[in-house]
Amino acid sequence: MKIAHRGPDAFRFENVNDFTNCCFGFHRLAIVDQLYGMQPLRVKKFPFLWLCYNGEIYNHIRLRDHFEFEYQTKVDGEILLHLYDRFGIEKMATLLDGVFAFILLDTANRKVFLGRDTYGVRPLFRLLTDDGFLAVCSEAKGLTQITHSMSTPAKIIPFPPGHFEVFDLKLTGKVVSVQMERFHCCTDEPKHASYNNLKGLGTGFKLETVKSNIRILFENAVKKRLMAHRRIGCLLSGGLDSSLVAATLVKLAKQEELPYPIQTFAIGTDDSPDIVAARKVADFIGSEHHEVSFTPEEGIQAVEEVILHLESYDITTVRASVGMYLISKYIREKTDSVVIFSGEGSDELTQGYIYFHKAPSPKEGADESVRLLKELYLFDVLRADRTTAAHGLELRVPFLDHRFTAYYLSLPEEMRAPKDGVEKHLLRESFKGMKLIPDEILWRRKEAFSDGMTSMKKSWYTSLQEHIESEVNDSQLEKAAKLFPFNPPTTKEGFYFRQVFEKMYPGRCEWTPHYWMPRWIKATDPSARTLSIYKPGPE
């Protein structure tokens, strides 16, 4: 019940017949099949399979038709049952184009399987005691109070993205882990690509070919994500990434004749750079635009709730989550959009952070890009999931499409590096002259989300610092390393976030293995605005 916010439409608890110690609980957010979408998902053909999953499998119809599977429902997740039955767990996982976290129980073979998508867009935590008691949940808060027979507390860990795990199930209901394997790495072309022949893709690395391929694959990434029975909207910060997503979404929604206009949502204070830029984009693409403003006081008040949802004390993550949490709250309360598109993943993929200008070589820049993608599940993807799911919304992130990312990462390192002092040059260049978004936005410099939401004169973040000054004194900060030997905070802000986190999740500091920090520059604070490279434009 601690994660009821993730599925406000219905819930169900179910024990497995003849397996006294196996129990499933599920909170439903109805997006695809309205009739058969309840879980655990079971079909007549496989009475021995029980599936609980959170996600969207975008190629489920393509695979169903290709393998001539007979479906009983219209649920995208039914494809997992058929693929598992025919090919086993590993091939099943490699063929799924989408985002997912699943637990599959096979009572005939006494096996339990866990799996999670390549970037961990959908969350999954697992608790396993030394004597084989297993519990999994979409959020760690659902596992912290579980009692078990062990005297020592059991570790709760985020399940690694791009992996599956196999357990043998004993008659007692206890399990033994027998296999944990990676089924997809972001740099490899996904196996499911061969079942979807995209027209117009060229070969070789000529610039025009590459630009055309980027456009085709990006549009394909947005298009496949239109799968929904509920209204689709889009977060729009006025930056390059969310603007490309919103513009492509509006264009495809018209082509697909969606029966409603696309709503876009921007958050900030009145004169913030993001609000102004987002307004320009919305006017240009013709979306139904909503501007959500919040006062520094509202931001400060939300911090504790945000940390409760995030289960993280990482400074950048908490800071950027406040705006996203408040905008999600607005969407939930004031509109009927439920499926929310967003630009997450682009900065990691296309080297969008300002510090990439300081990369010693294109090779090191490319390696850093892959490192960031592999850690997304701890930072930006975690933020985007928890802040939206807190309000029963479902996030879609086209920049993290398996095929789009694998292609982009296959390009020569020099092509992907910042060029002429502009980060994400290749992505911008690919959409040049396409009239998709205004030129000034196409070439707009990067703002960190928590920075761009506030006016240049005084960021909300400055107000937050002032509040923290009154909450944390110097002597507390001096003792921080003793009090928090793991990831000791070095600023009052870090101390404050950590204090709130420890109050809610005592002893769970390893959920944030390290802080998100820029590379190659001496940084004590992760905000882009405090870096010397950052030059705001003319006022």
Q: pLDDT confidence of 274, banded at 50, 70, 90?
A: confident
> Would the pLDDT of 466 be above 50?
yes
Q: If DSSP codes are grouped into helix, strand and coil, which group holds residue 190?
A: coil
> Would the pLDDT of 529 be above 70?
no
pLDDT for residue 33: 67
Pairing between strand 98-106 and 111-116?
antiparallel
How many Cβ atoms are within 10 Å of 443's Cβ, its own excluded? 14
The enclosing H or E element of 252 equals helix 240-255
193 DSSP assignment:
G
Rounded average pLDDT over 479-488: 97
The C-alpha atoms of residue 444 and residue 477 are separated, in whole angstroms, by 38
The C-alpha atoms of residue 96 and residue 442 are separated, in whole angstroms, by 32
Rounded average pLDDT over 427-453: 86
pLDDT for residue 450: 59
Rounded average pLDDT over 46-75: 96
> Would the pLDDT of 29 be above 50?
yes
> Would the pLDDT of 524 be above 70?
no
Q: Do 53 and 92 touch, CB atoms closer than 8 A?
A: no
pLDDT for residue 538: 41
Rounded average pLDDT over 267-278: 85
For 192-211, write each residue's pLDDT tens digit: 999 999 999 999 999 999 99
Q: pLDDT confidence of 302, banded at 50, 70, 90?
A: very high
Q: pLDDT confidence of 171, banded at 50, 70, 90?
A: confident
Q: Helices 380-389 and 296-310, interaxial angle, to 10°?
A: 100
Picking from 35, 119, 131, 17, the residue whose alpha carbon sits closest to that of residue 78 is 35
Q: If DSSP codes are grouped into helix, strand and coil, which group holds residue 272?
A: coil
Write down the mean pLDDT value for the chain.
Answer: 93
For 123-166, write each residue's pLDDT tens digit: 999 999 999 999 999 999 999 998 887 777 889 999 999 999 99
316 contact partners, CB below 8 Å, separation of at least 6: 379, 448, 450, 515, 516, 526, 527
Q: pLDDT confidence of 117, banded at 50, 70, 90?
A: very high
pLDDT for residue 533: 53
506 token code pair: 């005592």
The C-alpha atoms of residue 155 and residue 407 are separated, in whole angstroms, by 37
Angle 449-389-116 (CA atoms, 0-180°, nearest 5)? 95
The C-alpha atoms of residue 514 and residue 509 are separated, in whole angstroms, by 10
For 444-464, write each residue's pLDDT tens digit: 886 655 566 655 556 778 889
Length of the chain measured in residues? 539
pLDDT for residue 132: 93
> Would the pLDDT of 539 be above 50?
no
Residue 464 one-letter amino acid: L
173 DSSP assignment:
S
pLDDT for residue 537: 44
Rounded average pLDDT over 394-402: 98
Share of the chain above pLDDT 70, in %: 94
Half-sphere exposure of 519 (CA within 13 A, CB side): 17
Q: pLDDT confidence of 294, banded at 50, 70, 90?
A: confident
